[in-house]
Amino acid sequence: MNRKTGGILALLGLAGGAFAYWKYRNLSAEEKAQLKSKVNTVGRKIKATASDVEETITDSFTNGKKKVRKEYNNTTS
């Protein structure tokens, strides 16, 4: 990425952030509460998914370790 492209992307990011801030400031109290609820729900889903992924990886590692030990014991016996 050259400097010109990076600068344009930075400007677009700033403009998007400014628009989001302006939009949020103009929301009613009820709309802000709904938005906060949606953000919290998505956050909980992401946290649960990350936990599930961690458990899956741990289980896979443990099963792999058991298989390697079993194979090692079979070859040394």
For 39-69, write each residue's pLDDT tens digit.
Answer: 999 999 999 999 999 999 999 999 999 999 9
**Residue 67 to residues 56, 63, 71, 77, Cα–Cα distance (Å):** 16, 6, 6, 15
pTM: 0.58
**Cα separation of 10 and 14, whole Å?**
6
> In the chain, what is the greatest distance between 2 CA atoms, to the nearest angstrom?
74
Domain range summary for the chain, segments of one domain joined by +:
3-76
pLDDT at 1: 64
Q: What percent of the chain has pLDDT over 70?
A: 97
- At 74 the pLDDT is 84
